Structure 1
Amino acid sequence: KLIMFYPYFLLGNYLSEHEFIRIFEMPKNFKRRMNVRLIGGITFAAVMGFLLFEAWRDTPKEIVDFANAFKHRFPYVEQYDSDALVGVLKHSVIYLLSIAASLGFMMLIPMRRLPLITRAGELSLYVYLLHVFFVMAWRQYVTDAFVPQAWLALLIMIGVALLIVGIIIHPLVVRVLRPLIEIDIRPIVEKQEDLSK
């Protein structure tokens, strides 16, 4: 799973180092600013529209399989029930959709602090590490019969996801868990340096 997510981390690191994010700074000219937002909105809406269409036409099992592809849960051959080359091509489409949706969303966000969105971005490590406990609880206590239709399941899952992120980034939760997640290794490094001298 770590290897599957590595391209996202690598891309993020590369874009940060090369200040690629400056491309998304809104132009001062109103017309140009609206053009950037329009392109971003169309890109994001196209990906979301495709995913909603897939959820609408697919069976619950197909939706789970599609979601697992985005979560990179299984090897290519197992995930797509095909040979490795076809699996790589299908997986490349998953990467492309994910990156297109992310970039489109970034083009919509104003270049200023937005209370919840900025905080969620700054604390994304907390969300990444802690959401799994909520997912495990959901699987344990929520039955398949809870949601009768695929499109309703998608809407409920979006709402639940937003709620989970809201809980995880709450200041009290962050304060309690900061020592476990943001481990300060400086004393260990200093001690190692002292021992090596």
Structure 2
Amino acid sequence: MRFGKRKHRDGSRDAVKRHLENHLGAVTSLSTIEVAGKATIDLHEHRDAPGTGQTTLVTNGLASFAREHAFAGEEGLAQELVMVLRTEYVTEAMLDFFARVADLYTSQHGLLDWGVPLKLGSPVPGSDDLSFLYPTPAAVFEESFQFVEQPNALTVFCLLVPLRDEEVDAVVRLGIEGFDEEMGRLDPDIGDLRRPGIPFRTG
């Protein structure tokens, strides 16, 4: 992925807020956190989205931050982060974890690459062994959810899927495209942090 060097005029935060409400319904909980020691972003919590018993956590402001600090891609391409969880796992510890992930994202000054797992220092809260996050397009939602397009600003939603060590091994073995095909075929409940291992094909 190529990164732009110039800053982009940006009005995406209001557009992202409207987009989330249009697709996920009214926000259940909204909090504001400080990132990079000097900027603020919003964390949205949408209950029963995309389905009953699920909760979507999503940032609003990371894309604007990327454009303001010149690490957006060409034509203002930037990302917001999304996690989809069973509602029972949305605890204070999980919200703190998601906020830390957002803060770390700002410190790397680069967009996440699809299909490159991120190693965590400890398991995702609520799990025993899900120690990676897998960045991928937010295909658990309808296609119209997955991006917000404005003049000089394209915001895409990056879904972070918790994985365990052997599932990350499958990314290496199958390749990103093969892994994503298997995820689509098997359709695991990615929001269940106590789920069994995913039975990827071995051949």
TM-score between the two structures when normalised by the length of structure 1: 0.28
Please identify which structure carries the higher helix content: 1
Higher RCO (C-alpha 8 Å, min separation 6): 1
